[in-house]
Chain A
Amino acid sequence: MVLEETVHPYYLRKHNILSKAYINGTGCISPQNTIDSDWFFDSINPAKGDYFDAIEPSYKEFIAPNLLRRMGRAIKMGVAAANIAIQQAETQKVDAIITGTGLGCFEDSERFLLAMLNNDEQFLTPTSFIQSTHNTVGSQIALIMKCHDYNFTYVHRGFSFESTLQDALMLFEEGKETILIGGIEEHTPNFIILNRKALKFQEVLTDRPIWKSSTPGIQMSEGTAFFVLNKTKTSKSLASVDGIQTLYKPKTAADILNKLVAFLKLRDLSLSDIDVTLMGFSSDVNFDSKLQELLPAIEEETVAACYKNVCGEYHTASAFAMWVATKIIEKQKLPKVLMISDKEPDSIKNVLIINQYLGINYSFTLLSQC
């Protein structure tokens, strides 16, 4: 972090830290109707008490039946969202596929382990084991697209999706032109039961906004968002990604603010240049306290908004946030359901995402109109 504050911007550009990418296609499956490209927060699907389920499409439209029968939900959601993003970008070929996931293919992992327990470690079948690895989604997409190029999966807990973006920006510097990135997460009934026993859940009271929570507990969720990124701007470009930075366990809200100011300054921007700031409030006061403290400083200069009130919390919720930011720039409108500030932005050129996961992993992602 000290590096960014003290080193000349030329050094940072040379070392890929100030690279830029253009978003040419997006695909998102979430607890909302994001599968419909026309949907823009007009009707909101509420949480099922203390957790969200993703709204899944008819997968037959995206995946061949012989492949579909072996796929768990995470793989199906990932392949379908990637398919939608690729279709929107109108591209046949990508130079790299990079995915990020906190828990990977949880359903197949569970199935494999349950079979071991139930059958006393006998009669183990290969399918769920093969499908249970974290990189299955990226590899299935590669097989379907016949992409034999770079393929990587990041399993970095709350930084999993951020890592895909950082890697893509570095790969553009190495000459790649088009890269598919995505974040994937799924949950299962057993996963929900275990987390409920661990008191990690809460039913969010409808009269208390997510950014004003005074109680512990999050609304667990799932979903996937994919993006086709291009090194250069094309007629298909929806927005540009101008920067990404991760912060691990910042000590105070002031620490986050200082890093944020430095992050923007490197890009010749200040907080007042940001039109909308999407903040990762998760409804758990233990994890949100620093963002709650940061909020007045953000609201003073920009329009503050949230997103986990509609997507819930999961390791790669920042991918959903990037999908929201892209939509906001494309539509030039901030949906009311996301608004924290009373004021609406006049125009939307720069959108900043401040994500946090369990109060441990923080990240800044900057998107701009292009």
Chain B
Amino acid sequence: MDALIEKLKGQIIEQLNLAEVKPEEINPDSPLFGEGLGLDSIDALELIVLLEKHYGIKIQDPKDGKTIFQSLRTMAEYIKAQGKS
């Protein structure tokens, strides 16, 4: 799980162009949206594409996004649950 979280940190930094953020500064349990990384709705779309592009996961129901993208850890858990890690 830890390896997957580290991998996700790098992919999120690259995809969202978070040049100012270092991987060690991202707390895997902090919220991704609002506070924490302070991401917004455009970033949510970027994360959906990230999951599809790197892990072959398509989110069928947009409502699931709220739970999946709660934090880095929830994202990693979802990827693992889909058997795509």
Interface residues of A (CB under 8 A from B): 65-66, 69-70, 119, 122-127, 130
Evaluate contact between A125 and B18: CB separation under 8 angstroms: no
Evaluate contact between A126 and B42: CB separation under 8 angstroms: yes
Stretch at the interface among B23-31, B44-52, B67-75: B44-52
**A65 CA to B15 CA, complexed, in Å:** 16
**CB-contacts of B14-41 with A (<8 A):** 15-20, 38
Evaluate contact between B19 and A119: CB separation under 8 angstroms: no
B63 on the A face (CB < 8 A): no
Evaluate contact between A69 and B17: CB separation under 8 angstroms: yes
Evaluate contact between B19 and A69: CB separation under 8 angstroms: yes
Evaluate contact between A127 and B53: CB separation under 8 angstroms: no
Instruction: Select one of A66, A69, A123, A130 contacting B49, CB under 8 A.
Output: A123
Q: Which residues of B contact A126 (CB under 8 A)?
A: 42, 45-46
In the A-B complex, the 10 residue pairs with the smallest Cβ-Cβ separation, listed nearest first, are A123-B53, A69-B17, A125-B49, A126-B45, A123-B49, A125-B46, A65-B20, A126-B42, A123-B52, A127-B42
Q: Which residues of A contact B49 (CB under 8 A)?
A: 123-125
**A66 CA to B19 CA, complexed, in Å:** 10
Tell me how far the C-beta of A106 lies from the nearest C-beta in chain B, rounded to whole angstroms. 17
Interface of A: prevailing SS: loop
Evaluate contact between B16 and A130: CB separation under 8 angstroms: no
Q: Which residues of B contact A127 (CB under 8 A)?
A: 17, 42, 46
Evaluate contact between A69 and B16: CB separation under 8 angstroms: yes
**A65 CA to B20 CA, complexed, in Å:** 8
Count CB-based A-B contacts (< 8 Å): 27
Tell me how far the C-beta of B64 lies from the nearest C-beta in chain A, rounded to whole angstroms. 19
Tell me how far the C-beta of B54 lies from the nearest C-beta in chain A, rounded to whole angstroms. 9
Evaluate contact between A119 and B53: CB separation under 8 angstroms: yes
Evaluate contact between A69 and B45: CB separation under 8 angstroms: no
**A123 CA to B17 CA, complexed, in Å:** 16
Q: Which residues of A contact B16 (CB under 8 A)?
A: 69
18 contacts between A and B (CB under 8 A): A65-B20, A69-B16, A69-B17, A69-B18, A69-B19, A69-B20, A70-B17, A70-B42, A119-B53, A122-B52, A122-B53, A123-B49, A125-B15, A125-B45, A125-B46, A126-B46, A127-B42, A130-B42
**A124 CA to B19 CA, complexed, in Å:** 21
**A69 CA to B46 CA, complexed, in Å:** 14
Q: Which residues of B contact A123 (CB under 8 A)?
A: 49, 52-53
Residue of A nearest to B46 (CB): A125
Q: Which residues of B contact A130 (CB under 8 A)?
A: 42
Residue of A nearest to B54 (CB): A123
Tell me how far the C-beta of B49 lies from the nearest C-beta in chain A, rounded to whole angstroms. 5
Evaluate contact between B38 and A66: CB separation under 8 angstroms: yes
Q: Which residues of B contact A69 (CB under 8 A)?
A: 16-20
**A70 CA to B52 CA, complexed, in Å:** 21
Tell me how far the C-beta of B50 lies from the nearest C-beta in chain A, rounded to whole angstroms. 8
**A70 CA to B41 CA, complexed, in Å:** 13
Residue of A nearest to B48 (CB): A125
**A130 CA to B19 CA, complexed, in Å:** 20
**A66 CA to B16 CA, complexed, in Å:** 10
**A69 CA to B49 CA, complexed, in Å:** 18
Q: Which residues of B contact A125 (CB under 8 A)?
A: 15, 45-46, 49
Q: Which residues of B contact A124 (CB under 8 A)?
A: 49
Tell me how far the C-beta of B43 lies from the nearest C-beta in chain A, rounded to whole angstroms. 9
Q: Which residues of A contact B52 (CB under 8 A)?
A: 122-123
Residue of A nearest to B17 (CB): A69
Q: Which residues of A contact B38 (CB under 8 A)?
A: 66
Tell me how far the C-beta of A366 lies from the nearest C-beta in chain B, rounded to whole angstroms. 43
Q: Which residues of A contact B15 (CB under 8 A)?
A: 125
Q: Which residues of B contact A70 (CB under 8 A)?
A: 17, 42
Q: Which residues of A contact B42 (CB under 8 A)?
A: 70, 126-127, 130
Residue of B nearest to A123 (CB): B53
**A124 CA to B15 CA, complexed, in Å:** 12
